[in-house]
């Protein structure tokens, strides 16, 4: 683990006793070098902090659950967009005792970064996966960034089919940033485990740069995928009635498969063009303008 990552993890643990608002301000300062304006937010990251503290829509609790969200997707756009489900398990022992296919993806239903990919059961390290899942099951993801929706999610293990893409080792991720049912930006993650590229585009597939800088040379731009227009339409359908939600997809040979719904991208702590001025990032401000905060948020969803 890199030194900076160790420091941030240590900071999270040492500040756990703090109330949400104080924790958010200190952690935000550690990430960006300045405190957020939570009472009058203007940037996207500032507004996500406001949403965590004020927008407590009870629907979000089931929609951040990687198992329960499947019901929502099926009812709104159809089950054909869901990654085929193999099983859901309450314990690591149940997972280890399950009759699994040769290829699968296993992860927890309540967090991020707990996924393990198996492309060959004979060589898959079940021990390492079990240890990682055991640790994840004991962790309430809410404490990582005080993301309200995760506080009440029951930790479980979900196993889905492995989506094999003939063109690349791992499928690309397409993340649609939607606001009240309208997509304003798409993030594409390619080759996540080797030579990772992370680029941003408008709904017309005009480049907004990548994670490091606002300009990407023409020859390095990722191509618009087959199935893009379908993913765009479906994302806007799934995001209706939410001030903001990011809708994530895989696209295999032109066929979209739903990934997840995310209400707090990066916990509201991720700069976009991270090598440029973090507090004056144009994408942070552009998306901040797109996110219209609901009025009287604490009483909207009672």
pLDDT in tens, 95-121: 999 999 999 999 999 998 899 999 999
The answer, yes or no, to whether residue 88 has pLDDT greater than 80, is: yes
- Residues 196-215: what's their mean pLDDT? 94
pLDDT digits (tens, 9 = 90+) for 20-70: 999 999 999 988 999 999 999 999 999 999 999 999 999 999 999 999 999
The answer, yes or no, to whether residue 279 has pLDDT greater than 50, is: yes
What is the per-residue pLDDT for 301? Answer: 40
What is the per-residue pLDDT for 298? Answer: 44
Each domain of the chain, given as residue ranges in start order, spans 1-35, 38-83+169-292, 84-162
CB 188 within 8 A of CB 172: yes
The answer, yes or no, to whether residue 3 has pLDDT greater than 90, is: no
Provide the sign of the torsion angle of the four alpha carbons 151, 260, 176, 197, taken in this order. Answer: positive
The answer, yes or no, to whether residue 181 has pLDDT greater than 80, is: yes
What is the per-residue pLDDT for 6? Answer: 56
Give me the residue label for tokens 């499947």: 70
CA distance 162 to 280: 40
Single pTM value for the model: 0.92
The beta-carbon contacts of 183-191 under 8 Å, at least 24 apart in sequence, are 183/232, 183/235, 183/236, 183/239, 184/286, 184/287, 184/290, 185/283, 185/286, 185/287, 186/232, 188/222, 190/222
Fold entry, domain 38-83+169-292: D-amino Acid Aminotransferase; Chain A, domain 1 (3.30.470)
The secondary element (H helix, E strand) that includes residue 30 is helix 20-32
Dihedrals φ, ψ of 235, to 5°? -65, -40
188: closest CA among 150, 154, 221, 165? 221
Greatest Cα pair distance, the chain, in angstroms, is 55
Q: What is the DSSP letter of 205?
A: -
Classify residue 38 by burial, with Cβ atoms within 10 Å: 0-12, 13-18, 19+.
Answer: middle
C-alpha distance from residue 36 to each of 15, 24, 39, 214 (Å) = 17, 9, 9, 23
């Amino acid at each position: 683990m890199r030194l900076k990552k160790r420091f941030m993890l240590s900071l999270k643990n040492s500040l756990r006793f703090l109330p949400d608002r104080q924790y958010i301000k200190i952690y935000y300062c550690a990430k960006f070098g300045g405190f957020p304006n939570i009472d009058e937010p203007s940037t996207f990251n500032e507004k996500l902090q406001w949403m965590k503290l004020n927008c407590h829509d009870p629907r979000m609790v089931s929609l951040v659950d990687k198992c329960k969200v499947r019901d929502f997707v099926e009812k709104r756009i159809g089950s054909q967009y869901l990654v085929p489900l193999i099983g859901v398990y309450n314990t690591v022992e149940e997972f280890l005792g399950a009759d699994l296919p040769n290829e699968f993806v296993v992860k927890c239903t309540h967090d991020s970064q707990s996924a393990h990919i198996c492309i060959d059961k004979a060589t898959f390290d079940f021990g390492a996966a079990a240890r990682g899942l055991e640790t994840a099951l004991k962790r309430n993801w809410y404490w990582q960034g005080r993301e309200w929706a995760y506080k009440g999610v029951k930790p479980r293990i979900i196993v889905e089919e492995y989506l094999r893409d003939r063109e690349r080792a791992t499928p690309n991720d397409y993340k649609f940033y939607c606001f009240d049912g309208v997509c304003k930006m798409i993030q594409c993650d390619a080759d996540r485990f080797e030579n990772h590229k992370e680029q941003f585009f408008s709904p017309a597939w005009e480049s907004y740069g990548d994670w490091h800088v606002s300009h990407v040379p023409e020859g390095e731009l990722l191509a618009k995928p087959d199935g893009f227009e379908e993913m765009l339409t479906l994302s806007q359908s799934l995001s209706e009635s939410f001030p903001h939600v990011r809708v994530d997809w895989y696209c295999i040979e032109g066929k979209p498969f739903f990934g997840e719904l995310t209400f707090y991208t990066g916990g509201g702590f991720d700069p976009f063009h991270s090598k440029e001025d973090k507090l004056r990032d144009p994408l942070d401000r552009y998306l901040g303008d797109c996110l219209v905060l609901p009025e009287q948020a604490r009483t909207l969803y009672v």
